[in-house]
Amino acid sequence: MKIRTRFAPSPTGFMHVGNLRTALYEYLTARHANGTFVLRIEDTDQERYVEGAIDVIYDTLKLAGISHDEGPDIGGDFGPYVQSERLSIYKPYAEKLIEEGKAYRCFCSKERLAKVREDAIANGQDSIGYDRHCRDLSQVEIEKNLNYGIPYVIRQKLPLSGETTYHDCVYGDITIPNEDLDDQILLKVDGFPTYNFANVIDDHTMGITHIVRGCEYLSSTPKYNALYEAFGWDIPTYIHLPLIMGKSIDEEGKEVVSKLSKRHGSTGFFDLVNEGYLPQAIINYIALLGWAPSDNKEILTMEELINDFNIESISKSPSVFDYDKLLWMNGEYIKAMSSDEFLSYAKVYYDKFAISSCKYDLLEELLKPRITKFTEIEEKLEFLAKYEEFELSLFEHKKSKSTLETSKQMINEFLPILESIDESNWNRDYLGSKFVDFATEKEIKNALIMWPIRIAAAGVAVTPGGCSEVLVLLGREESLRRINLAKSRLEI
């Protein structure tokens, strides 16, 4: 049997990384087995509808490199793939269950339901669900209510006693007491199906064989199975995924972990992308949240993920989303980039400093090992545009034995040499050799001359690259201007 999985997001305009990981695992489960991956949009909740939200889903999957074989945009043999276009198919299924005595009309008002729940809570009852008031209404009462036009929902009759066991690929056999199962609503007053109902109908009619979802569904799965059984359908293979958690500090200063949410940092795929995380790095990272390849490799391409992925290695315990590790991984992806790719991301920042293309290669070399996100380029290059009066104490550096006195002397002696170097020789190798020659001749350490020149030119202690590189990035004219300025400040 060919495996079919589906990703069924709601168009909320926001793609939580937890959802994205579910999508990824669904995709990997299908691809690994040469199966089919289906995209279905669950938009039955009209209140939650957000303009352009479906595009967020498409854009996310595309950027993430998760491609579907069937979906609203590309069609397929099991359409329509948007739930709101499937509305007419659910009601007959629900009515069929009524005919067979497996479901019933419930005329209870929301107020009554709320009261029932309140009382249950007040009495400290374990079960705070529906009291099954309408489950055994007589035919006469039903007719009467129908004639009065009392609105009703359709509920499924679930077993009152015993227990239900099902198998999950990750968690093994799960057994739930049937008395904990509410008579679930299939069709709402407005005639729309509930999520649970539509989900089962859709999954079955779309031939979904493997249901991959978060483990928050673990305890409601027996209800799904009751539906499959009521219709006499095969129960799909279940793969429940451990939750992704976030760590935060509560009011008392204690560390707490809970389901990853905004208070832990950015959790939306595009939020992370906008912060400078690369889509491939995000995918790679979340793939490893709850699963590890047999060889424990950490940097994996999508192709490798597809090959190595196996359901048996999915872990049961929840994992904490670690932004530090994601950041590291992002850096690894940057380091592995080709020059063209690097430039395509970096150029927008280069342009802010009006950097000429002849410096691109040098910048790539300097920046690549120094950034973990492209957004960091701006601060790294800030010294190119800004040169303010800095603390002269920057010239003091213990390791290179640099002091205000030596700095003043070095700059005085070296400035003429720099000034004698013309534009055509103003490059890293030539400048570097001049420093070394100077140091050798004076019998001093390279650092003693390079430190003050770099400080004088950059005006900051930390620069991406050393003295020669800084001078090249600044250019001859600006370098000399700055060093002269520093010189006069040192002489006062």
Partner RNA sequence: GGCUCCAUGGUCAAGCGGUUAAGACGGCGCCCUCUCAAGGCGCAAUCAGGAGUUCGAUUCUCCUUGGAGUCACCA
Instruction: Take residue 227 and report the two structure tokens written for it.
Output: 């539906």
CA distance linking residue 145 with residue 140, whole number of Å: 9
Whole-number CA gyration radius for the chain: 33
Q: How far is the CB of 465 from RNA (least distance, A)?
A: 5
Looking at the Cβ atoms of 11 and 279, the one nearer to RNA is 11
- Check binding of 459 to RNA (CB under 7 A): no
Read off φ and ψ for residue 4, nearest 5 degrees.
-130, 125
Beta strand pairing status for 172-177 and 185-187? Answer: unpaired
- Kindly list the distances between the CA atom of residue 313 and the CA atoms of 4, 294, 342, in Å, as whole numbers in the listed order: 20, 8, 34
Q: How far is the CB of 2 from RNA (least distance, A)?
A: 26
- Check binding of 441 to RNA (CB under 7 A): no
Query: How many residues form the binding site for RNA (CB under 7 A)?
Result: 93
- Check binding of 440 to RNA (CB under 7 A): no
Residue given tokens 């064989």 in the structure block: 209
Instruction: Take residue 113 and report the two structure tokens written for it.
Output: 């339901």
- Check binding of 469 to RNA (CB under 7 A): yes
What residues between 374 and 393 interact with RNA by CB under 7 A?
Answer: none
- Check binding of 399 to RNA (CB under 7 A): yes
What residues between 157 and 186 interact with RNA by CB under 7 A?
Answer: 171-172, 174-177, 180, 182, 185
Looking at the Cβ atoms of 91 and 259, the one nearer to RNA is 259
What residues between 59 and 98 interact with RNA by CB under 7 A?
Answer: none
Q: Which of 32, 188, 352, 487 binds RNA (CB under 7 A)?
A: 188
Q: Which of 66, 211, 282, 288 binds RNA (CB under 7 A)?
A: 288
Interacting stretch for RNA, rule CB under 7 A, among 225-233, 337-345, 346-354, 397-405? 397-405
Q: What angle do CA 67, 330, 286 make, to 5 degrees?
A: 50
Q: Which of 91, 204, 325, 481 binds RNA (CB under 7 A)?
A: 325
CA distance linking residue 356 with residue 368, whole number of Å: 18
Given CA atoms 57, 58, 59, 65 in this order, what sign does their dihedral have?
positive
What residues between 248 and 267 interact with RNA by CB under 7 A?
Answer: 256-259
Q: How far is the CB of 69 from RNA (least distance, A)?
A: 22
The neighbouring-strand residues paired with 241 are 214
- x/- map, 101-130, RNA, by CB under 7 A: -------xxx--x---x------x-xxxxx
Q: Which residues contact 315 (CB under 8 A, 6 or more apart)?
A: 242, 290, 291, 292
Single out the catalytic residue among 96, 262, 316, 335: 262
Q: Tell me if 476 sits within 8 A of 421, measured CB to CB.
A: yes
- Check binding of 131 to RNA (CB under 7 A): no
- Check binding of 140 to RNA (CB under 7 A): no
- Check binding of 132 to RNA (CB under 7 A): no
Q: Which of 468, 472, 479, 486 binds RNA (CB under 7 A)?
A: 468
- Check binding of 464 to RNA (CB under 7 A): yes
- Check binding of 396 to RNA (CB under 7 A): no
* Residue 262 among the catalytic residues: yes
Burial 388-401 (b: 16+ CB within 10 A, else e): eebeeebbbbeebe
- Of 97, 93, 108, which Cα lies nearest the Cα of 158? 97
Instruction: Take residue 79 and report the two structure tokens written for it.
Output: 């359409």
What residues between 337 and 356 interact with RNA by CB under 7 A?
Answer: none
- Check binding of 373 to RNA (CB under 7 A): no
CA distance linking residue 39 with residue 194, whole number of Å: 19
- Check binding of 359 to RNA (CB under 7 A): no
- Check binding of 220 to RNA (CB under 7 A): yes
Looking at the Cβ atoms of 2 and 48, the one nearer to RNA is 48
Looking at the Cβ atoms of 332 and 478, the one nearer to RNA is 332
Q: How far is the CB of 328 from RNA (least distance, A)?
A: 4
Looking at the Cβ atoms of 63 and 218, the one nearer to RNA is 218
- Of 306, 90, 312, 342, which Cα lies nearest the Cα of 195? 90
Looking at the Cβ atoms of 2 and 335, the one nearer to RNA is 335
The neighbouring-strand residues paired with 256 are 248
- Kindly list the distances between the CA atom of residue 265 and the CA atoms of 14, 17, 53, 70, in Å, as whole numbers in the listed order: 14, 12, 22, 33
- x/- map, 293-322, RNA, by CB under 7 A: -x-x-x-------------xx-xxxxxx-x
DSSP state of 372: S
- Of 262, 320, 265, 268, which Cα lies nearest the Cα of 289? 320
Q: Tell me if 319 sits within 8 A of 245, measured CB to CB.
A: yes
- Check binding of 149 to RNA (CB under 7 A): no
- Of 456, 468, 331, 278, which Cα lies nearest the Cα of 383? 456
Residues labelled catalytic:
262
